[in-house]
Amino acid sequence: MYFKQFFDDKLAQYAYLIGCQANGTAVVIDPMRDIDQYINAAAKENLTIVAAADTHIHADYISGLREFAERGVKVYASDEGDKDWKYEWLTGSNYDYELLNNGDTFNIGNITFRAWHTPGHTPEHLSYFITDGAAADEPMGIATGDFVFVGDVGRPDLLESAAGQKDVMEPSARTLFKSVESFKEVPEYLQIWPGHGAGSACGKALGAIPESTVGYELRYNNSLKSATSEDNFVEFILEGQPEPPMYFARMKRDNKMGPKLLDGIPQPDRLTLGQLKHIVAEGSSTLLDTRSKEAFADGHLPGSLLSTLNKQFNTAAGSYITEEETIYLVVEEHNVREAVIDLIRIGLDNVEGYVTPADLQMYANQGGELNKLEVGTFETVEEKKDDPQFKVLDVRKASEFEERHVEGALNFAHTRLMETRSEIPSDKTLLVHCQSGGRSSVASAFLAKHGHDVVLIDDNFDTYKQKAKTV
């Protein structure tokens, strides 16, 4: 059996290419939308991808299942869950597909995949027991999707907190408890191949180790260990979950109804300075700056957003940009493709052009307007927090805020500002902070774009709270 794990470090997502070397066929589990990466990897091993499977309707990225179906590859998806959580784009289509229920199997050469209904994270969620028939008649591992991670389990609150369904958070947690109880009966030697790693918003304490075993997780996974009773588990698993990025609801919708098909990877044009001046003057497009927060604060195009091209790039961009918007990037030439692929993975396809930081400097040298972002420290907070003309805005998670915060501060998570901005004072200068300046920088750019007076607090909150008055 051939086995390869793919990892996207920005979305902390794992996909799996599993192949039968005896007959040269393979399947991909939980593929992303840009499927050529899997096809090329398979070809290098003399494998042909003949199937693709999802574990569930994903909330954090566009699935590649439809892209594979469009190319004639057979796709497998869950038929579990209620009527609201079905793969509507598959049902009744002309695609080569099979909908799976608990216990159903399919084969890729000598390898058998058995579906296991593990609801809780989502109602339709499947995990897959994987047996290498050339070597054994029992499974060697489980592709657990967003059911069991290394160090955590999939959060059960997203149908309510991200997809907008009411009063389903606690029932989902209780359903997840039942799935966990079933997990306790699985042989401990089985390997765990999860759908996400550290950094994903699909859990609150995911580990960075790429795989584990059932036995290890039962011993050391705090979420599993909390399942000493149903009530204890529900309380533990719902406490402290991070606010989901705004784009999660859109991903749920698109993966259920049918993602838009890609016509290749977008190839944005490098703009001339004349084109850039026109776009800035027109003001109807989205300018997305991928540079560092320091470079952005020192000078950026009026009305532009900041999403530094690091591990938080997708989260920030997806929280502040909608799928209809036309996007122009400020990005280094050698990073254009990376940024474009990151954006299409969350359904932001309309990337029409870009300029480089060098272009931006030339634009400024020729009289083009650049705005600056005022930057302060927690000394600024101490000086201004009691001034009625200022308001401290903490854009960390609610759980972080509850643990310790500046007295009198408002708390709105940076991933939800598109939804909550109307609740933020527009008649005060906002002192915007997070833990160390990363989240507050993208939040400050967003708020400034929408007319708020902001001061980015680019400083470390841990140092501040050791010596200042916090509550």
In this prediction, residue 9 carries a pLDDT of 93
| Residue 263 lies inside a defined structural domain of this protein | no
Q: Where in the sequence is the domain holding 284, given as residue range(s)?
A: 269-365
**Within this chain, do residues 283 and 228 fall inside the same structural domain, yes or no?**
no
**Within this chain, do residues 102 and 205 fall inside the same structural domain, yes or no?**
yes
**Within this chain, do residues 437 and 311 fall inside the same structural domain, yes or no?**
no
End-to-end CA distance of the chain: 56
Q: Which of residues 255, 287, 321 is at a domain's end?
A: 255
| Residue 262 lies inside a defined structural domain of this protein | no
Q: Please state the φ and ψ torsions of residue 126, each to the nearest 5 degrees.
A: -115, 145
| Residue 33 lies inside a defined structural domain of this protein | yes
Residue ranges of the chain with per-residue pLDDT less than 70: 467, 469-471
In this prediction, residue 469 carries a pLDDT of 64
Q: What angle do CA 311, 316, 319 make, to 5 degrees?
A: 140
Q: What is the pTM of this model?
A: 0.95
Is the CB of residue 408 less than 8 Å from the CB of residue 384? Answer: no
Is the CB of residue 193 less than 8 Å from the CB of residue 143? Answer: yes
- In the structure encoding, which two tokens stand for residue 71, read together? 């190319």
| Residue 39 lies inside a defined structural domain of this protein | yes
**Within this chain, do residues 337 and 380 fall inside the same structural domain, yes or no?**
no
Residue-wise pLDDT for 300-350, tens only, equals: 999 999 999 999 999 999 999 999 999 999 999 999 999 999 999 999 999
**Within this chain, do residues 302 and 239 fall inside the same structural domain, yes or no?**
no
In this prediction, residue 403 carries a pLDDT of 93
SS3 content of the chain, % helix, strand, coil (to 5): 30, 25, 45
**Within this chain, do residues 133 and 217 fall inside the same structural domain, yes or no?**
yes
In this prediction, residue 105 carries a pLDDT of 98
**Within this chain, do residues 176 and 226 fall inside the same structural domain, yes or no?**
yes
Q: Which of residues 316, 342, 365 is at a domain's end?
A: 365
| Residue 261 lies inside a defined structural domain of this protein | no
Q: Which of residues 313, 331, 365 is at a domain's end?
A: 365
The full DSSP string for 129-191 is EEEETTT-SS--EEEEETSEETTEE--S-HHHHTT--SS-HHHHHHHHHHHHHHHTTS-TT-E
**Within this chain, do residues 50 and 124 fall inside the same structural domain, yes or no?**
yes
Q: Is 318 left (phi over 0), alpha (psi -120 to 50) or beta?
A: alpha
| Residue 260 lies inside a defined structural domain of this protein | no
**Within this chain, do residues 135 and 49 fall inside the same structural domain, yes or no?**
yes
Is the CB of residue 203 less than 8 Å from the CB of residue 196? Answer: yes
Q: What does the alpha-carbon distance between residue 7 and residue 339 come to, in Å, rounded to a whole number?
A: 16
Q: What angle do CA 52, 53, 54 make, to 5 degrees?
A: 135
In this prediction, residue 203 carries a pLDDT of 83
Domain tally for the chain? 3
Nearest residue to 244 via CA among 208, 206, 200: 200
Give the strand pairing for 126-132 and 111-117: antiparallel
CATH number of the domain that residue 392 is part of: 3.40.250.10
| Residue 90 lies inside a defined structural domain of this protein | yes
State the amino acid at position 38 in one-letter form: Y
Count of CB atoms situated within 10 Å of the CB of 81 = 17
**Within this chain, do residues 33 and 81 fall inside the same structural domain, yes or no?**
yes
| Residue 264 lies inside a defined structural domain of this protein | no
**Within this chain, do residues 56 and 163 fall inside the same structural domain, yes or no?**
yes
Going through 273-350 in order, the beta strands assigned E by DSSP cover 286-289, 305-306, 327-330
CA torsion through residues 124, 129, 130, 133, sign: negative
**Within this chain, do residues 25 and 115 fall inside the same structural domain, yes or no?**
yes
